[in-house]
Amino acid sequence: MKKLITLLLAAVMLLTVFTACQTNKADEGAPATNVEENAETNDTEATGDETEEDVPATDGQIVMATNAEFPPYEFMENGEIVGIDADIAREIAKKLNKELVIENVDFDSLIPGVSTGKYDFVMAGLTVTEERMNAVNFTQTYATGVQVIIVKEDSPITSADDLFAEGANTVVGVQMATTGDLYCTWDIEDEGLGTVERYNKGADAVMALNTGKVDCVVIDNEPAKVFVANNPGLKILDTEYVTEDYAAAISKNNPDLTEQIDEALGELIEDGTVDAIIEKYIPAE
């Protein structure tokens, strides 16, 4: 009888152990409790906070379009776009906490590109004109440009007045879509005083002057100085063609960005940064 009781007790103990083992295995595969879920959530949120601390200082990119054929405002140097506009744009980007990206495109693509939102803004020695104001918003002006006339040293053209004289028939070289192109089209071609030959680059217009394809070139004074220095036998006439103001252009569909860039530019003008950048490239005489 004792042996029978002993065997029964042993069987009960084995059954208890087996049941406990099965229960533990079930617990291992069971879903986490609410406490464990909360713990996991807290760990995830903590990890997210750490990730945010590693986010770069800038909060995105801002794209400026230019035409790097207009020294000293924008030109290529060691594979990089540099110049007055490029330097000012970098300072504007810092003010806006953005990373600046510069796109180098044809000059006649600048206004259409920015007006449709392809680029955020344009800085390219861009003159404020009524025609352009119909297509884009402009910031306050930050520099003054002067359109001048380049001729050969023995040219019969001695002043701007010669281009407008009765019976004149001058062939004028310009960079396409620049204000030189606009003014010469209005003042000379439309008035029957000559023809305008348009080139993608100012340097191409100067080459045409050297080879006798045009009688003169109308272009901004600063790049004109560079072209004349690099092309013996050319000179800049003393009389100016026209004086104009440069500003940044932004899409009319983005008034907030216009305000932000204009405010940043105003601060850079006020604290002397813009003057210092211009002085860097155009030392006072």
Domain extent at residue 272: 61-142+247-281
pLDDT category at 235 given cuts 50, 70, 90 is very high
- CA-nearest of 69, 95, 98, 68 to 81 is 68
In a domain, 8, yes or no: no
Tens of pLDDT, residue by residue over 61-117, are 999 999 999 999 999 999 999 999 999 999 999 999 999 999 999 999 999 999 999
pLDDT at 9: 39
On whether both 196 and 236 belong to a single domain, the answer is: yes
pLDDT at 58: 65
In a domain, 257, yes or no: yes
Q: Mean pLDDT across the stretch 174-199?
A: 96
In a domain, 52, yes or no: no
Distance CA 215, CA 252 (A): 39
On whether both 161 and 135 belong to a single domain, the answer is: no
pLDDT at 59: 79
pLDDT at 118 over 90: yes
pLDDT at 100: 98
**Domain total for the chain?**
2
In a domain, 182, yes or no: yes
In a domain, 29, yes or no: no
pLDDT at 211 over 60: yes
Distance CA 10, CA 206 (A): 110
Distance CA 152, CA 54 (A): 60
Strands 249-251 and 136-138: antiparallel
pLDDT at 17: 39
Cβ pair 218, 172 in contact under 8 A: yes
SS3 content of the chain, % helix, strand, coil (to 5): 45, 25, 30
* CATH code of 185's domain: 3.40.190.10
pLDDT at 57: 56
On whether both 261 and 231 belong to a single domain, the answer is: no
In a domain, 264, yes or no: yes
Tens of pLDDT, residue by residue over 29-38, are 433 333 333 3
In a domain, 42, yes or no: no
Q: Mean pLDDT across the stretch 125-139?
A: 96
Q: Mean pLDDT across the stretch 223-242?
A: 96
More confident residue, 33 or 169: 169
pLDDT at 284: 77
On whether both 138 and 156 belong to a single domain, the answer is: no
